A and B are shown apart, each in its own frame.
Chain A
Amino acid sequence: MIRKYSGIAPKGDLLLIQKLCEKLKGNSFLHINSTREGGGVAEILQRMVPLLNGLGIDTRWEVLEGDAKFFDITKKTHNALQGNPERFTDEMWEYYYEVNKKNIKRLNLDADAVLIHDPQPAALIDFRKRPPKSRKNVWLWRCHIDVGHPATGVWDHLEKFIVRYDAAIFSVAKFAKSLPIDEFIVTPSIDPLSDKNRDLTKREINAVSDKFNIPRDKPIILQVSRFDRFKDPIGVINAYKIVKKYNDCRLILAGSPATDDPEGEAILNEVKEYAGNDPDILILLLPADSHLVINALQRLSDVILQKSIKEGFGLTVSEAMWKEKPVIGGAVGGIPLQIVHGVTGFVVYSVEGAAFRIRQFLNDPDMARRMGQRGKDYVRNNFLLTRQIRDYLSLWYCTKHRGKNVIEL
């Protein structure tokens, strides 16, 4: 299966993956998260697990089970880790621990490498089995969320579990903590062969524009994101209104309903009201699995925005760059890591900045094309699934061979 990425991913990444798989052949790799579907983690695991198995690594993916009460607690934990103040009681932490404990009856934790994703299953480390020394296993905790500035107390509680892992993995250096264990930085990735990112035929793109009645008579500006205040959809409309005074264009705001966000519907209505009856603003509410539609919308657009005011990593930026589109993003979360300002796109700090950069792109198609091409190369070298697999295998291997800064294979 990895062969399918040949000619798409960097040769060195594919080669290193193969070399590491030769070294780790016959070893087992267990991933545990808390959902089989929905969200970026599940999306990546769905693609990564079969690839690893195809490479001779016996890879399993298990899902932690919990009830509504458990997920309510972990949702609060998630929010608090991202900085929102939440109230926790000892009883809540005990319940969290008990649900983890209950899961060990149904989960087989035997593996040479165990990668625990996010806080929900983090307490499983307490039930780690120590195999004989000759077959030392490795437990890794992967944090996918922004824990740079957590609310008081919540990180302290989680840290008690985290420090017992062999290593922790964060998406961005600024999310890392001062911990007594190894901490690796592994950025998230997109799969170039998934429906969301694979090449599309003209017919597939046209089918989407026909289905949603999107005329192609003027430049299209697009933002794909859920209807959430942190994605600043109102700011995007304001930027479009400024641009419209100088350049005729159309704006598409496309997103899925945020089922875990009670504010989602209110914001969607607010956005619709703010857009008024401007026929050049299209608001598309899409089902969560509209990967191919999003792919087509990105490909038929001329400029793609991710004008967030708060963001985890913001992989929609890499998705757009992979399609060679000029991108404009807010200077938050992982967006500046993807957009090298003035090289692969523009980072902006205001509505006016977003409008100014959109106008630049619309008026200088050569620059837009150049940045789009560089953007695709940048994603190829840094944000593809194969690079993430390479990183996981590498850090597994170097956790087993501690103390070396240069490893020759």
Chain B
Amino acid sequence: MEDIIEPFEFKQCVSIVKSTGQKAVNLRELRMLISQVGDESIFHHIYQYFLKGHMLEYTNDFAQWAGESLEQRALAERLSSIDPYSCKSVNHVRKELTRVIDEHLSEFPEPHDVVTGDEFYFNETISFVFPVGVKTKNLAEFLVAIGHIDEGSIYYHFYDSRVRLGEGIVDDFSRWIEHTLGRKKLADKIRAIDPFMHSTERIREHIREVVEEYVRADMEGVED
């Protein structure tokens, strides 16, 4: 009898945005509020940045504001290079953010105010997580499903998983492919996709490309 394969169940994350009512008009205020707002707000502006489609220049909201509204490109680059998945907690990310801003403020101690309307608004979210009704039992089914699910599902399994599973580098897809299907090489290829360099749509395409390569090889009887 064949082993029972634990299917991959696709879920999706949809977030509802809440305002904290807090806003910063300059870098010093931003620094102060970063140290004061709840974890949910830091989580939203850093981790959930990828849920927006990630089409902008930097990799989190704080960096984007520093680059676009404060026109402090060097600061934006430094904030953008903070890897939230290498941090152990949201508080760790918060400390990294304040460290980078403090370094900048020590060089430029008198930050200017942005024009009205360009302030940084601190938000947070409430996330709804739900199964989308798609389960796959093998690579071929997975390949079909990955092309049809919403971007919110890619976000949940590729980005959110890194925080949820607490390991930083592991996404749900590669975890299932390695541990359930036993395809470590393919799992490694998915893990090699840089999460900071692509939109969720491009992530989908990359996953599709590598999985398709393996499905085709399977059909042709080529071994891993």
B53 touches A407 (CB 8 A): no
Contacts A13-B14, A185-B18 given: A174-B129 contact, CB under 8 Å? no
- Give the shortest distance, in Å, between B193 (CB) and chain A (any CB): 21
Would you list which residues of chain A between 228 and 265 have a CB under 8 Å from chain B?
A: none
B129 touches A185 (CB 8 A): no
Contacts A11-B150, A13-B14, A395-B16 given: A408-B130 contact, CB under 8 Å? yes
Chain B residues with CB below 8 A from A10, complex form: 150, 152
A177 interfacial contact with B, CB 8 Å: yes
A11 touches B132 (CB 8 A): yes
B59 interfacial contact with A, CB 8 Å: no
A44 interfacial contact with B, CB 8 Å: no
A176 touches B150 (CB 8 A): no
Q: Bound complex: CA of A390 vs CA of B17, how far in Å?
A: 12
* B1-43 interface code vs A (CB 8 A; 1 in, 0 out): 0000000000010101111011100000000000000001000
Chain B residues with CB below 8 A from A332, complex form: 117
B116 touches A149 (CB 8 A): yes
B53 touches A176 (CB 8 A): no
A319 interfacial contact with B, CB 8 Å: no
Q: Bound complex: CA of A257 vs CA of B26, how far in Å?
A: 42
- Give the shortest distance, in Å, between A80 (CB) and chain B (any CB): 18
Chain B, interface SS category: strand
- CB < 8 Å neighbour of A183 from B19, B119, B126, B128: B19
Would you list which residues of chain A between 135 and 184 have a CB under 8 Å from chain B?
A: 148-149, 170, 173-174, 176-179, 182-184
Q: Bound complex: CA of A173 vs CA of B53, how far in Å?
A: 19
A174 touches B121 (CB 8 A): yes
Q: Bound complex: CA of A16 vs CA of B12, how far in Å?
A: 9
B12 touches A409 (CB 8 A): no
A394 touches B55 (CB 8 A): no
Interface size for A (C-beta < 8 A) is 37
Chain A residues with CB below 8 A from B21, complex form: 176-179, 183
A407 touches B19 (CB 8 A): no
- A-B contacts at CB below 8 angstroms, number: 89
B126 touches A398 (CB 8 A): yes
B56 interfacial contact with A, CB 8 Å: yes
B133 touches A15 (CB 8 A): yes
Most buried by A among B14, B53, B56, B149: B14
- CB < 8 Å neighbour of A12 from B16, B53, B150: B150
A352 interfacial contact with B, CB 8 Å: no
A105 interfacial contact with B, CB 8 Å: no
Chain A residues with CB below 8 A from B117, complex form: 148, 174, 332
Most buried by A among B16, B40, B125: B16
Q: Bound complex: CA of A406 vs CA of B125, how far in Å?
A: 9
* B100-130 interface code vs A (CB 8 A; 1 in, 0 out): 0000000000000000110101011111111
Chain B residues with CB below 8 A from A394, complex form: 14, 16, 126, 128
Q: Bound complex: CA of A178 vs CA of B23, how far in Å?
A: 9
A207 interfacial contact with B, CB 8 Å: no
Contacts A15-B12, A407-B127, A409-B128 given: A340-B17 contact, CB under 8 Å? no
B151 interfacial contact with A, CB 8 Å: yes
A291 interfacial contact with B, CB 8 Å: no
A12 touches B152 (CB 8 A): yes
Would you list which residues of chain B between 122 and 169 have a CB under 8 Å from chain A?
A: 123-130, 132-133, 148-153
Q: Bound complex: CA of A332 vs CA of B119, how far in Å?
A: 13
- Give the shortest distance, in Å, between A3 (CB) and chain B (any CB): 15
A185 touches B150 (CB 8 A): no
Q: Bound complex: CA of A147 vs CA of B16, how far in Å?
A: 21
* A317-344 interface code vs B (CB 8 A; 1 in, 0 out): 0000000000000001000000010010
- Given A10-B150, A12-B152, A185-B123: 19 more A-B contacts, CB < 8 Å: A11-B149, A11-B150, A16-B130, A148-B117, A174-B23, A178-B21, A183-B19, A184-B19, A185-B17, A185-B19, A394-B14, A395-B126, A405-B126, A406-B129, A407-B126, A407-B127, A407-B129, A408-B129, A409-B128
Which A residues are within 8 Å of any B CB, using their own CB?
A: 10-13, 15-16, 19, 148-149, 170, 173-174, 176-179, 182-186, 332, 340, 343, 378, 381, 390-391, 394-395, 398, 404-409
| Complex A-B: 11 CB contacts under 8 Å | A10-B152, A11-B132, A16-B130, A173-B17, A174-B117, A174-B119, A174-B121, A176-B21, A183-B21, A407-B127, A408-B129
